[in-house]
Amino acid sequence: MKYDVNVELKNRSEEYSFGEVAKQANGAAWIKSGDTVILATVVIDETEIVKDDFLPLTVQYIEKSYAAGKIPGGFFKRETKPSDFETLTSRIVDRSLRPLFPKGFGHPTQITIMTFSVDKESDLQVLALNAASAALYVSDIDINISVSAVRAAKVDGELVLNPTLSQLKNSTLDLYLSGTKDDLLMIEMRSFGGEEFDNTLIVDPLMDPTMSAPIFSKHISNAMSEDELIKVFEKTEKVLFESNAKYEESFKAFKKKTLTIEYKAHVINEEMVSFVRDSHLSDIKSAMNQMAKSERSTALRQLRKRILVTNEHWEEIELKDAIEKVKKEQVRSQILNERVRADGRALTEVRPISISTNVLPAAHSSCLFTRGQTQALVVLTMGGPKDAQMYEALTDEGTQNENFMVHYNFPGFSVGEASPILGTKRRELGHGNLAKRALEPIVDLDGQTVRLVSEILESNGSSSMATVCGGYMAFRAADIETSDTVAGIAMGMVSEGENYAILSDIMGLEDHDGDMDFKVTGSKDGITAMQMDIKLGGISLDVLKEALYQAKEGRSHIIDIMLEAEEKIEFNDGVLPSTDFFHIDPSFIGEIIGQAGKTIREMIEKFEVAIDIDKKEGKVKITGKNKTGVAGAREHIEGIVNTPKVAKIKYEVGDKYPGTVKKIVDFGAFIELPDGTDGLLHISKVSDQRVEKVSDVLSEGEEISVEILEFKGNKISLGRA
């Protein structure tokens, strides 16, 4: 392969080849970084133009098993449906590149990114975006702006840009920035905060395997402060801008001649706009006050019908656009000039919140979290190690287990739409992943498996943040310890020139007509995760800092309400499993297990629990159907550990000892010898006379004298002395 361009970046280099492969695509870029090779292509359908106000862009990121020298597992030996990581990577690339397309671009466009070879130290999500942007830049589409990504990590307290996989595995920060040479476009971030942590690594399949971060069993701080994060942004943003300048300078010689294509004609009828402003502004304001999407749509549709009755020659589609324009103007003007929002709230005001826990009596735990007209029912189910989700990522040596899952569902009825519930969509997967990243730093499951399912019952702004809040409450309603209280809030912004307003807890109307969707999760101390998409030409760090601190105020307000609700939790004791973890001196494990596992089996049967013991470290995990059984088993084990050991006796044939009848069976009796060792007194040895039933001669607990007759492996045969 002949490489045309070599781009030297911070801690990494990339080689690009243009025109060697995929020559029939509108644009193609072959990228090599280390041993990773990716091909990105862009194709547009010139014969079709979508008339709706929608950009028909599809992005597909595809991994090939052969890239890592693997054959697909399972029954079918070829790649099938996309993995979660492939879907989320496709979504990240889409969100970063979509703002580049000019207004009126209506041709169906397909961006395909295929991973052909993998270097296990490479950041696949960064390379995927860089390759796709290069293919778009050199294509014959009229796009002349480079978009790329920079990953930031924090290893041993030091900031590392474009880190390797090995560095990321020990990082307390995972920050993904994408943008142009002038502006930030998108942010994905999660923080594990503190510097003290163990080496336990639980790979997160919802992120790039190369982005995996450990769940720490010891925490100093679970979140990153706003000031510290801004400092990281400043350094990362600078490298991002410099990288894009390099890309544009390197790629411009390979840009194809721009294709002449038809754009969608979208001209607003100013006569209609003026009419609506002058005659129906009050109706527009009334529709704005209908906060639910379905109610607002109905009100605007009825307004159109009334206007068309007296203006029969007008086209309804043009009138719809005119009404939409006036509505958007009014929403933004009211916020910027009057500092009041459509529902009457102040800019920093959070909608009313109500929290009900354990509303589902047969579930392990549940929370119904309602904020304004957004409502999430979050349900938690606890399981053991065998319930973990198995998966195999391209850069992993073998199968991995995911023991914390967040599944987010968004049915059509939540926004008043008559749509069937089909498979999981990209948006649902992305929102579930955001909630997972928000909550993961505050829980240490230690082998336990937890599944959170968020059912969105109503949505009018930021159901993903409702999932975070409801998810935390579900943890507490299941009596699972957390290292901190975490909540989430969605921020927005409206701006005209130098004038701007930052909005806390945005609703759907403000998301649709605003300029930014900024989701922030964390504790009162700092941020655990965030996600930002900007509809403008970018955002300054000063405005971003202001938004972060306003989000902190809103988050603190929500956390106070959550803490009040936490005090009122009543556990589902009848169905809630209980788990206890503690350590013992490993030298007592033999006594706990007993001869041939007898002691531990008796505990399992008596207390109805499962007991797992780490023989090397002495770690004990007890899981049961209720707290009483778990507590009883622990007390029994601690009783064994706290009982002074009796020195083992070296038994020999012919020795005589006092013993205690422990258990009577059909064929004899088990006798406990002085050091706790058991021996069998066969029914034929119970008495000098023939015995039909052992219980006719002996009773459990009775003390008798016995003689060692013989050894059969580890078993001792006894007779009456």
Establish if 324 belongs to a structural domain: yes
| Best CA proximity match to 455, nearest among 431, 489, 479, 488 | 431
Q: What is the CATH number of the domain that holds 589?
A: 3.30.1370.10
Confidence (pLDDT) at 249? 95
Distances (CA, A) of 327 to 119, 318, 512, 664: 51, 14, 11, 86
> pLDDT (tens digit, 9 = 90+) per residue, 513-551?
888 889 999 999 899 999 998 775 667 888 889 999 999
> What letters, b where the CB count within 10 A reaches 16 and e where it falls short, cover 602-622?
ebbeebebbbebeeeebbbbb
Residues 464, 502 share a domain: yes
Residues 277, 245 share a domain: no
Burial grade of 39 (CB within 10 A; 0-12, 13-18, 19 or more): buried
Q: How far is residue 37 CA from its own chain's centroid? A: 28
> pLDDT (tens digit, 9 = 90+) per residue, 65-89?
999 998 887 778 888 889 999 999 9
Distances (CA, A) of 204 to 174, 404, 433, 437, 664: 12, 9, 9, 9, 53
Residues 67, 170 share a domain: yes
Task: Calculate mean pLDDT across residues 463-488.
Answer: 95
Residues 510, 604 share a domain: no
Residues 697, 603 share a domain: no
Instruction: Name the pTM for this structure.
Output: 0.80
Which structure tokens are listed for 116?
Answer: 């052909």
> pLDDT (tens digit, 9 = 90+) per residue, 86-121?
999 999 999 999 989 988 888 999 999 999 999 989
- Helix 124-138 with 84-97: angle, nearest 10 deg: 40
Residues 283, 170 share a domain: no
List, in sequence order, the alpha helices (H) in 311-391.
316-338
Count structural domains, the chain: 5
Answer with the one of 642, 665, 686 that is the final residue of a domain.
642
Domain coverage including residue 414: 365-566
| Best CA proximity match to 194, nearest among 562, 519, 470, 444 | 444
Residues 469, 322 share a domain: no
Establish if 343 belongs to a structural domain: no
Q: What is the DSSP letter of 224?
A: B
Residues 443, 399 share a domain: yes
Question: Long-range contacts made by residues 282-286, C-beta under 8 angstroms, separation at least 24?
Answer: 284/323, 284/326, 284/327, 284/330, 285/330
Q: What is the CATH number of the domain that holds 670?
A: 2.40.50.140
Q: Residue 63 and residue 43: Cα distance in Å, rounded?
A: 19
> pLDDT (tens digit, 9 = 90+) per residue, 434-458?
999 999 999 988 778 999 999 999 9
Establish if 260 belongs to a structural domain: no
Bigger pLDDT: 376 or 698? 376
Residues 555, 475 share a domain: yes
Which structure tokens are listed for 138?
Answer: 């050199």
Rounded to the nearest 5°, which phi and psi values hold at 295? -70, -40
Cα angle: 305, vertex 306, 312; to 5 degrees:
75
Residues 537, 423 share a domain: yes
Establish if 353 belongs to a structural domain: no
Answer with the one of 338, 373, 393 that is the final residue of a domain.
338
Confidence (pLDDT) at 232? 94
> pLDDT (tens digit, 9 = 90+) per residue, 623-641?
887 778 888 899 999 888 8
Residues 288, 181 share a domain: no
Task: Calculate mean pLDDT across residues 667-696.
Answer: 86
Establish if 349 belongs to a structural domain: no
Residues 185, 142 share a domain: yes
Establish if 509 belongs to a structural domain: yes
Over 50: is that where the pLDDT of 195 sits? Answer: no
